[in-house]
């Protein structure tokens, strides 16, 4: 399993993800919104055209995009921990 391999290699702790908490998943709250806005209104002739556009978008993202996403995730996780999992982002 890749996450286990990476955790062992880099000394990371794997945290369990609360079920049905998309606001605590970095892909859901930080990645898909900007990606959806970027792709909005575009049409693709082929799957390869879509893949090419996606690769171009990812290649041009600044490292700060990911840093902000991870840092935002930390505060969301802490809020969930402090409230013993009983929180809803308002």
* Interatomic CA distance for residues 6 and 50, integer angstroms: 29
Q: What local confidence, expressed as pLDDT, does residue 83 receive?
A: 80
* Interatomic CA distance for residues 24 and 74, integer angstroms: 9
Any domain includes 9: no
Any domain includes 90: no
Residue with tokens 């993800």: 17
- Total of domains in the chain: 1
Across 6-10, 27-31, 44-48, 69-73, least confident range: 27-31
Radius of gyration of the chain (CA): 16
Any domain includes 46: yes
Q: What band does 75 get if pLDDT is binned at 50, 70 and 90?
A: confident
Q: Which domain holds residue 65?
A: 20-82
Any domain includes 14: no
Is 77 within 8 Å of 24 (Cβ atoms)? yes
Q: What is the pLDDT of residues 18-36, one digit of tens each?
A: 566 656 665 666 788 899 9
Any domain includes 12: no
* Interatomic CA distance for residues 42 and 25, integer angstroms: 26
Any domain includes 6: no
Is 69 within 8 Å of 31 (Cβ atoms)? yes
Any domain includes 13: no
Q: What local confidence, expressed as pLDDT, does residue 78 receive?
A: 82
- Model confidence pTM above 0.75: no
Is 44 within 8 Å of 53 (Cβ atoms)? yes
């Amino acid at each position: 399993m890749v996450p286990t391999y990476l955790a062992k290699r880099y000394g990371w702790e794997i945290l369990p993800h609360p079920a049905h908490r998309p606001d605590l998943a970095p892909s859901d709250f930080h990645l898909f919104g900007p990606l959806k806005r970027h792709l909005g209104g575009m049409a693709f002739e082929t799957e390869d055209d879509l893949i090419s556009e996606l690769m171009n978008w990812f290649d041009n993202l600044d490292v700060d995009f990911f840093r902000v996403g991870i840092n935002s995730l930390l505060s969301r996780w802490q809020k969930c921990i402090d409230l013993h999992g009983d929180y809803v982002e308002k």
